[in-house]
Structure 1
Amino acid sequence: MVRILGAQRKWVRQKEVGYVVLHCKSAPTANFGDLPLNDEEIVQSVVAGVTPSYILESKLNDTHRAAKLRRDSLKVITGRSIDGLPLDGFDYDSILGQCCEMPVGFVQLPVGIAGPLVLDSMMSSRFARLQGIQCSLAGRNLYMRFSCSTGDAMGMNMVSKGVQNVLDYLQSDFPDMEVVSISGNFCSDKKPAAVNWIEGRGKSVVCEAIIKEEVVKKVLKTNVQALVELNTVKNLAGSAIAGALGGFNAHASNIVTAVFIATGQDPAQNVESSHCITMMEAVNDGKDLHVSVTMPSIEVGTVGGGTQLASQSACLDLLGVKGANPESPGSNARLLATIIAGAVLAGELSLMSALAAGQLVKSHMKYNRSNRDIAKAAS
């Protein structure tokens, strides 16, 4: 967001913009001296505040030992145990300087598979190019929304660097312009916003399928008319009554969140990535069901960030979208977005069928309730 300070305004004249790459050295860290020799003394030093916890990796040159001593210090400071949080079995070198600061362990997540899911109709685009700029005025404040292709990366950092260069250039040409912030919430990141729903953000995907009448009856245990009516009453009218923004679906965020965590995406971007409208209609003389999901803002990448973690990288490899695609930059990220949309469609069809057949509560009680936890509570 930029603010025009001068009384007069002028249009920006068109000219070629040169980009400058800035190389910044790391800021020097304070010298806290040598650490004590044994682990017990190091823990005492951290607890006493003499040794900052964040320097353990650099001082010890052993990331696993640093994580262990940090969690031991945490136990002393808080008086609470985190024995249920695993320590061993993780490559802490792989997250040094990225993904996680001051680690004390890792969270275990069960990973299952669903499929096969047959997809088609892929497209391609170029890498790291400015696609357009959308501007909006509010008083003397100018909000600019940059749209860029970012290859197989989700691209937030990439775009931010480019935008900063543009703002620096504009500020040199218009000295009466004040840059209030590189982000003015017109993006709009990690927040439900109509601009993402209308204009799109990340990858915009439409996934559709035709389900034969026989499958609807024998497998889904319902009928086409019931599904169409339920979708209208629940996902469309019901969501409108609730004042939903991008939430015209049954449970898209369940699937999006699961895939995001498993493949190293930013879980917070589930907010806009789960924007989805589910449509159902009878086709082929009313016998079969046409179902579709439209998701305008799926924010995913197959390189950078959490995609580099071993477990998440393995999941991406399983899906056939690990890393960057050298032949068609961006196609791996687009395929991942398509896979997510396909999985959402399957999830929508499953839940809506359970609701239409009146089987939701019964299914949850049978398949999704832990008898072990109930037994513990009873005892």
Structure 2
Amino acid sequence: VFLIQSLGLVLVHAHSRWIAEPAAQNSTVENSVGLDENAPKRIEPNVSLWQFYLSRMASMDIEQVITLGLALLLAVKYIFFEQAETESTLSLKNPITSPVMVQKKVPENCCRKQTGILKTNQKSNTAEEALIPKDESAEVIKPVLAESSTKATFVVGSSSPVETSSYPSGKEEEMELPKEPRSIEECVRILGNAQEGAKFLTDAEVISLVNAKHIPAYKLETLMETQERGVSIRRQMLSKKLPEPSSLQYLPYRNYNYSLVMGACCENVIGYMPIPVGVAGPLFLDNKEFQVPMATTEGCLVASTNRGCRAICLGGGASSRILADGMTRGPVVRLPTACQAAEVKVWLESPEGFQIMKEAFDSTSRFARLQKLLISLAGRNLYIRFQSGTGDAMGMNMISKGTEKALARLNEEFPDLQVIAISGNYCTDKKPAAINWIEGRGKSVVCEAIIPAKVVREVLKTTTEDLVEVNINKNLVGSAMAGSIGGYNAHAANIVTAIYIACGQDAAQNVGSSNCITLMERTGSTNEDLYISCTMPSIEIGTVGGGTNLLPQQACLQMLGVQGASQDNPGENARQLAKIVCATVMAGELSLMAALAAGHLVKSHMIHNR
């Protein structure tokens, strides 16, 4: 190619320059470009082409000599030196071990590797495979590689992403699988063979092994060559049992990192649920700006919260403080008599008893530190509420482990004590409870802001007087009339749940985490500005563990600058996230209350949430 390019350059230059006689140095522009009879003529027919070029070569000027010389030098370089340099570079820096370029390795946690299995894989009767276009599901392109000892298989279409895998040509026959499923005994032998394994089995054969109890259904991901294939096989098995076999058509499962899910977040996986994620902000809190991710399917929620953030920002921002930080676990134990239970209560409340329990509890973790015990009696049952710091983790597993060790130590002091349950609902976790509202659980946070009257009028489209009146009669009196526990707010659970889903929190803990009281007052020199505060005593939240290990959720935590554990001050990231939640709740409260005061709620929902 280089040689052709060089010779082409020479010919084009020669033909364009020699096709005409050089113009005189003193000729005018008009004469040089004119079409008169004195203009240079093209090649005369009576002169042969080679004679013409020889005559021109004999009369070349210096410019033409330099140009042709450079072109010839380039040709010589490409012919005699370029190949040697390339081979030298490859041999020293990138040695080639195969005639074919080494293809990028597909991560094990990515898609199922499509090998020769695809050639003779059984025809699936599941509705899921039937949904895949026939012209795509079986389309295989085999590029022909000269002198190659490997083959690459590319699966094209929506059935799976493009993947490659290579095997020595001598073993190609081993990948030829029968169209009909083999016997159970043969499949068991192949599965247990270290040289073969699950990739030498078709999906139908794997399903037959599951049905025959040779493969536990919950272990499909760990026994297949890729975890995604295990999910795919489970979907095929499930589809046959559903009232509508095509139910899983729009539930995605491909291109997901299941290695972060297995053993941590979910079991019997059949896919993942995409949820829209919006952003509200900037939220100006404690002299910092935050863009808050919110995962929700409720129209108006993100837009309304965004309006509240704007009002807070125009008012100078919000301020927040952490009031308490301690996760709880409340086991129930039983003594032979109520009097003995009372004696245990007295011992636990004594300084020496608490110290013994603390030493046992703290020995289980470098972060868990027992802060206090709250004990209540019901007959001969004793309810002990352990409260402990948990660093940047939400901490339920951490505190449960410490509680178990402390109860074992307590049993040494009182052999007649019987542990009924490690959780006796005295915690209280994922259930409405006055104890969380009064004593707090997780992070207790307060947040406040002042909204100028002009912002109330122009951004919130209402007045301070109307906002205060609606807040009193709705959030305070109305909630009291309903017998609410911790529900003295407009819709704190909306914001808490949206942030929790986006940031990998336990969404069920929105029950206690949404405890909130919203207060509004008139303030300022003219008493027309608005003072608003939100107090949330039980925000159960963390930045490590559980769903925070998943990459999309980590991305949302990184948006807020709180992903992972704080290296400088353990627990600071979780506390910062709790303050962001409280401030965002306040923004949502501000906007919704304004919509109610102005009578805009129904109109906005008819536009954005139908």
Q: TM-score, normalised by structure 2?
A: 0.54
List alignment gaps of at least 5 residues for structure 2: 1-187, 192-197, 287-319, 326-365
Name 2:241's counterpart in structure 1.
77
1:95 Cα deviation (Å)? Answer: 1.2
Give, in angstroms, the shift of residue 97 of structure 1.
Answer: 1.2
1:197 aligns to what?
A: 437
SS at match of 1:250: coil
Equivalent residue number for residue 260 of structure 1: 500
- Which of residues 338, 352, 362 is equivalent to 2:593? 352
Q: 1:103 to 1:273 in 2, by over 3 A?
A: same
| Conserved 8 A contact 2:321-2:447 | no
**Counterpart residue type for residue 534 of structure 2:** V
Alignment counterpart, residue 58 of structure 1, candidates 210, 222, 227:
222
Q: Matched residue of 1:108: which SS?
A: coil
| 8 Å CA contact retained: 1:228, 1:280 | yes
2:210 is the counterpart of 1:46 = yes
What's the C-alpha RMSD, in Å, of the aligned pairs?
Answer: 1.8
> Structure 1: which amino acid aligns with 2:450?
I
| Cα distance between partner residues in 2 of 1:74 and 1:169 | 47
Between the aligned partners of 2:274 and 2:567, the Cα distance in structure 1 is 32
Measure how far apart 1:44 and its partner are.
4.0
Who is 1:177 aligned against? Answer: 417
Which of 146, 151, 155 is the equivalent residue of 2:395? 155
**Which aligned pairs between 1:57-136 and structure 2 lie closer than 5 A?**
57-79=221-243, 80-81=245-246, 82-120=248-286, 127-136=367-376
Structure 1 residue 59: deviation in Å? 1.7
Q: Deviations over 1:118-154 (max 9, x none)?
A: 2225669894211111111111111100111111000
Partner of 2:542, secondary structure, is coil
Task: Give per-residue Cα distances to partners, 1:226-281, cap 9 Å, x unaligned.
Answer: 00000000000001111111111000000000000000000110000000111000
CA distance in 2, matches of 1:237, 1:48: 62
In 2: Cα distance, 1:356 partner to 1:46 partner: 60
User: Take 1:255 and 1:49, find their aligned partners in 2: how far apart are those partners?
Assistant: 45
DSSP 3-state at the match of 2:585: helix
- Once residues 331 and 50 of structure 1 are traced to their aligned partners in structure 2, the CA distance between those partners, rounded to angstroms, is 48
| Cα distance between partner residues in 1 of 2:321 and 2:603 | 39
What does residue range 324-363 of structure 1 map to in structure 2 within 5 Å?
A: 324-363=565-604
State the SS of the aligned residue for 2:283: coil
Structure 2: how far apart are the matches of 1:312 and 1:323? Answer: 11
1:219-238 matches, within 5 Å, as: 219-238=459-478
Q: Is the 8 A contact 1:47 1:77 kept in 2?
A: no
Amino acid at match of 2:271: G
* Rounded Cα–Cα distance in structure 1 between residues aligned with 2:564 and 2:210: 39
Aligned counterpart, 2:511: 271
Deviates more, 1:289-298 or 1:115-124: 115-124
Report the CA distance between 1:52 and its aligned residue.
2.6
Work out which structure has the larger RCO, using CA pairs closer than 8 Å and 6 or more positions apart in sequence: 1
Query: TM-score when scaled to structure 1?
Result: 0.86
Is the Cα–Cα contact under 8 Å of residues 235 and 250 in structure 1 kept in the other structure?
yes
**Counterpart residue number, 2:381:** 141
State percent identity of aligned pairs: 57
Mean CA deviation greater in 49-58 or 175-184:
49-58
Tell which structure's C-alpha radius of gyration is larger.
2
2:594 and 2:211 map into 1 onto residues whose CA distance is 56
Runs of 4+ with deviation above 4 angstroms: 47-50, 121-126
Q: How many residue pairs end up in the alignment?
A: 338
1:366 counterpart = 2:586:
no
